[in-house]
């Protein structure tokens, strides 16, 4: 059963070595993520599952010990998801889960065993919600670390340029996360979300499925459009 969740953005810029000179500007976002992970650590979890968006060829389970790196961003830095040996096959974490693994290492996570699940960023709402329900049906006290950014269209210099719909979309997501409103998250339209570059959409909808029927209180910890990209941090507990 889902007993707690942390929702964090997943730009590689959260990693100071990747951000380089821009690292101080991301510090408030990092602090909010550390606060959210503190809520998870206090929840007496039996298991923590990290979920994040990925391409279709990267989607699927990421067992404990799966390595990741930021070499694709010009930094010779490696991370590992949870503890344990790397699973066979040589597969690496997609970027969103690598950022999640870095956040866990950054706070010295030891509160519960960790594994991961990369979610196809094109997954339908129905499949996302069903995935969340299946995750939550498993025995034990489950926590979710949900990685994903909002729109990338909040300014003229944003990666997706300025789109007038972006601010309203992000505000609706922020309200839903802050209110732990599973119905509002499940109602997000994948079409506009994709057009706005909001890759967190499928993971938020997995959270919606996992949180159905569970009385959790939400709190929005951070809401900022930095470099034209929406970064949202929230906790459900």
13-39 pLDDT, tens digit per residue, is 999 999 887 778 889 999 999 999 999
CATH of domain 2-236: 3.40.830.10
Mean pLDDT (the chain) is: 95
200-218 pLDDT, tens digit per residue, is 999 999 999 999 989 999 9
Q: What is the dihedral of CA 213, 217, 221, 223, to 10 degrees?
A: 50
- 204 with 148: CB under 8 angstroms? yes
Look at residue 174 and tell me whether its pLDDT is greater than 80: yes
- 209 with 130: CB under 8 angstroms? yes
Look at residue 11 and tell me whether its pLDDT is greater than 80: yes
- Reported pTM: 0.95
127-173 pLDDT, tens digit per residue, is 999 999 999 998 899 999 999 999 999 999 989 999 999 999 999 99
Q: Contacts by 177-181 with C-beta closer than 8 Å and gap 24+?
A: 177/7, 177/204, 177/218, 177/220, 177/232, 177/234, 178/218, 178/219, 178/220, 178/234, 179/218, 180/211, 180/216, 180/217, 180/218, 180/236, 181/218
Residue with tokens 């990209």: 229
pLDDT at 60 (0 to 100): 95
Extents of the domains making up the chain: 2-236
194 token code pair: 């994709």
Look at residue 90 and tell me whether its pLDDT is greater than 80: no
């Amino acid at each position: 059963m889902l007993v707690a969740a942390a929702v964090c953005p997943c730009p590689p810029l959260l990693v100071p070595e990747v951000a380089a000179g821009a690292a101080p500007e991301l510090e408030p976002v990092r602090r909010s993520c550390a606060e959210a992970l503190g809520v998870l650590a206090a929840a007496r979890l039996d298991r923590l599952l990290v979920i994040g968006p990925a391409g279709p060829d990267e989607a699927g389970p990421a067992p404990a010990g799966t390595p990741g790196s930021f070499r694709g961003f010009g930094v010779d830095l490696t991370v590992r998801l949870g503890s344990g040996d790397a699973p066979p096959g040589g597969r690496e974490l997609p970027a969103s889960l690598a950022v999640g693994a870095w956040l866990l290492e950054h706070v010295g996570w030891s509160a519960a065993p960790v594994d991961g699940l990369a979610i196809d960023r094109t997954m339908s709402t129905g499949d996302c919600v069903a995935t969340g329900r299946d995750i939550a049906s498993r025995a034990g006290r489950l926590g979710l670390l949900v990685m994903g950014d909002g729109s990338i269209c909040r300014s003229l210099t944003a990666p997706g340029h300025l789109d007038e719909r972006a601010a309203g979309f992000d505000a609706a997501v922020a309200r839903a996360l802050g209110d732990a409103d599973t119905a509002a998250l499940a109602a997000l339209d994948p079409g506009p979300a994709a057009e706005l570059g909001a890759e967190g959409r499928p993971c938020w909808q997995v959270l919606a499925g996992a949180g159905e029927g569970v009385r959790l209180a939400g709190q929005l910890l951070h809401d900022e459009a930095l470099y034209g990209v929406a970064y949202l941090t929230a906790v459900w507990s």
